[in-house]
């Protein structure tokens, strides 16, 4: 199934791109949010600014793409599940400051895990 390989690689690319999107709003303390709201913007952090677990999520996305390309469906499902779990931890810790990039990354990881798990079960 060449399309499964291409889909896994495509999902990995989407996850890598989402890693650079806004994950959470930042409060600098000395600069009130109301002042930034006057300009129609707020300060955000993307995956590259968050820290080690966000870098792990990027590695999981790349690993998912490689495992999917090599048709290792169970491994790909486990990597995507781990990414979804870490994403849910971030969602719980960030709370109301969450931005769309973190939500999209977590949802894509969860859907990828479900898809690869289902593909693995059907292939047996």
Give this prediction's pTM.
0.84
Does pLDDT of 32 surpass 60? yes
Residue 38: predicted pLDDT: 60
pLDDT in tens, 80-117: 999 999 999 999 998 888 888 889 999 999 999 999 98
In DSSP terms, 44 is beta-bridged to 25
Residue 56: predicted pLDDT: 92
Is the Cβ–Cβ distance between 67 and 79 less than 8 Å?
A: yes
pLDDT confidence of 37, banded at 50, 70, 90?
Answer: low
pLDDT in tens, 9-31: 999 999 999 988 888 877 666 66
- C-alpha–C-alpha distance, residues 19 and 15, integer Å: 6
- C-alpha–C-alpha distance, residues 44 and 21, integer Å: 9
| CA torsion through residues 113, 51, 32, 38, sign | negative
In DSSP terms, 24 is beta-bridged to 45, 98
Residue 28: predicted pLDDT: 65
Tokens 């047996």 belong to 124
pLDDT confidence of 47, banded at 50, 70, 90?
Answer: confident
Give, as one character, the DSSP assignment of residue 29. S
Residue 25: predicted pLDDT: 78
């Amino acid at each position: 199934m060449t399309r499964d390989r291409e889909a896994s690689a495509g999902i990995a690319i989407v996850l890598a791109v989402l890693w650079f999107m806004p994950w959470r709003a930042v409060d600098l303390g000395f600069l009130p949010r109301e002042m930034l709201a006057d300009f129609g913007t707020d300060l955000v952090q993307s995956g590259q600014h968050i820290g080690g677990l966000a870098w792990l999520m990027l590695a999981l996305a790349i690993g998912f793409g490689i495992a999917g390309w090599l048709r290792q469906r169970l491994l790909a499902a486990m990597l995507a599940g781990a990414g979804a779990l870490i994403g849910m931890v971030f969602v719980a810790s960030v709370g109301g400051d969450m931005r769309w990039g973190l939500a999209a990354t977590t949802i894509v990881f969860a859907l990828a895990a479900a898809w690869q798990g289902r593909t693995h079960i059907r292939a047996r």
